[in-house]
Amino acid sequence: MYGISDLSSIPVRTEPTEKSEMCTQVLLGEHYEIVEEGKKWCKIKLFHDGYEGWIDTKMVVKISKREYNFLSNKLHYVTADIFNIIQQTDDYRNFLIVAGSTLPRFVKKHSTFKIANTQYKLLSNAPVKPVEKDARTRIINTALSYFNSPYLWGGRTPLGIDCSGLSQIVYKIGGVNIPRDSSQQALLGENFSFVEEALPGDLAFFDNEEGDITHVGIIWEKNKIIHSSGKVRIDNLDHAGIFNIETQRYTHQLRLMKRIINEK
């Protein structure tokens, strides 16, 4: 069994209960496999990053295996503006969707797309096609547009986002698919040793006292880093780690830096 999100965001929990923590969110148009189905909860596995967790059964919109395979092999459009407005074409109801949402079967000329059996129309600015051309510029511009968004564990939206959710979403809008967690993201790409070697859009990873990678940020220019810590903010980055401009102290210890985007 398979499903797709027709909501702005669906909370995914680590256990099948409302009291369980949210580990990630499914944005509009993202599709998944239903691994286990119950009366109140479904365990799902997201296609784009393989993440598993539980969602409320009432939020499940099922699709066929054929549709799932079609979505999995098709290049889609991804919304780039922080907020977009869509309209259900048969009853004219409007609702907000967030940056990073996927528009499957998007017809650019008419700004329409279809999710399951429902057709929608995009009413705000056009989305971007996920291609790697100018990916670095798009990644930085997108990351800056999240400035001051509050930190939320498991969040992937401008209304609340965690550090790895930020890097995953801005890379998605830049046309590059990466895993959900910082420890998984750190396994990608090529290492480099000095902050001065960094290019805008490279990722920096930080560990705790046990040596586990627990934080990630997006390197900007002039030794600056964009990351979600309390809120999405800009701080200084050097060989020791992140230096908080407001408190004038180091907050995160640098472990490694990675270049995921290959230059052409």
Q: Do 218 and 228 touch, CB atoms closer than 8 A?
A: no
From 31, 48, 215, 252, the catalytic residue? 215
155: left (phi over 0), alpha (psi -120 to 50) or beta: beta
From 31, 163, 239, 252, the catalytic residue? 163
* Helix or strand holding residue 66 (H, E): helix 65-72
Secondary structure letter of residue 151 according to DSSP: B
23 is known as an active-site residue: no
76 is known as an active-site residue: no
What are residue 217's DSSP bridge partners?
Answer: 204
Angle between helices 163-173 and 135-145 (to 10 degrees): 130
Cβ atoms within 10 Å, residue 229 = 18
Secondary structure letter of residue 183 according to DSSP: H
Look-up of token digits 């009853």? 91
Sign of CA dihedral 132, 225, 147, 182: positive
Q: Is 54 exposed, middle or buried (0-12, 13-18, 19+ CB in 10 A)?
A: buried
* DSSP E strands, 123-186: 156-157, 160-161
* Cα–Cα distance, 224 to 200 (Å, whole number): 9
* Cα–Cα distance, 28 to 10 (Å, whole number): 8
From 31, 48, 227, 252, the catalytic residue? 227
Q: Which residues carry out catalysis? A: 163, 215, 227
